[in-house]
Structure 1
Amino acid sequence: MSTTAAVPRVGLSDLGPIAQLRAGRLGRRLPQLYVGLVAYGVSLALMIRADLGLAPWDVLHSGLTRHLPVTIGQAVVVMSFVVLLLWIPLREKPGLGTISNALVVGFSADATLALLGDPDALWLRASMMLGGIALCGLATAMYIGAQLGRGPRDGLMTGLARRTGLSLRLVRTGLEVAVVVLGLLLGGTLGLGTVLYALAIGPLTQLWLPSWIVPLDR
């Protein structure tokens, strides 16, 4: 038996699903993953109740609710598994966090919406919108930092970038423009919040991510 202490692997690692679970520190990583995913759903609900514009993918989700007998949380779950089907030709590897993301975010959003009313005052709606965007950035840093697998939409972005040779920024922009256009065609909600989200979510996630990356054992 080796007596050498495990050396933490600093930064984000690209591990397969089994290796992610074997990398240790699950007592920290699992709670962080699920708190982050629940917070992500709460952030979605805040932006919906603010009614000042949704995140790009949620424009699509809100559009789907106008044509299918589903709640917006259920639409998130359905689209998550549709996106996961696109992982197959891209050969992306899902992890526990990937499947959890597909389920927990949508259910958390619906649960939060059941508790939140529709505010009338513009200042309150604006506060909910800004709070939702900030919370989404924090939640994203938390679940990515847990290192238990990319979310369905994150994996689609990274898979397309790897397969096409295009930059992550270009692929992300293309995907978000596409889902916004499709969402608008379906009657989804676009507004100031959509623009602010697009501008702020990257910098916010980058700001908080270093503090939430859990070092893994080799």
Structure 2
Amino acid sequence: MTASPPATPQELRCLIVEDQVMFLQLLRSMLEAMPGLQVVATATCQANAIALCSGDDAPDLLILDLALPDGDGLAVAEALAATRPHAKVVVLSGQASSFVCPAALQPLIAGVVDKTSAFGQLTQVLERCLPHSSEPLTPRQEEIYGLIGQGLTNKEIARATELSVATVETHRKAIAQKLGMSGSELVRQASLRSRLNAVEG
């Protein structure tokens, strides 16, 4: 269980509960780059997560793995519901398609994301939870964002997509604007997303 400095007032305070340490570290790095969101703590087991959700500093947003080594992740969501009923929960599951949400928790569930899917799905769910709710990327922008994450230059992306370098640069600026990032932050998050997708695959 680790903690971070307090979030600023306009940020959602996020707790990540995930027992796979490598996945947790990559996920934390990526979420910390998202404007409007502050990862204030992480937990790798049910007991620690429940403790973090039961106090005065309970998070506004819970990223929750259902399969924890000491019990069902839904118990963590129940603890958060009791403390902060207006919080949001994003469920991570290897069997997302078969997940059945208990009726009492339905108001909290912002989305259910399959751990085998692309990180883009989680990003879209989180963006709906964030105050700035940025406009989603177009399919072409998603493609270019992925190529940025692979370390390609604008010229290499232009060749791969059969676009001009100027068009790639325009897309790149639009992506950064939609995601509320500087150029360097865009490269960092795109790279981290690419690494996370590789771990998922």
Is the TM-score greater than 0.5? no
TM normalised by structure 1 equals 0.23
- Greater RCO (CA < 8 Å, at least 6 residues apart): 1
The structure in which a higher percent of residues are strand is: 2
Decide which structure has greater helix share. Answer: 1
TM-score of the aligned structures, taking structure 2 as reference length: 0.25
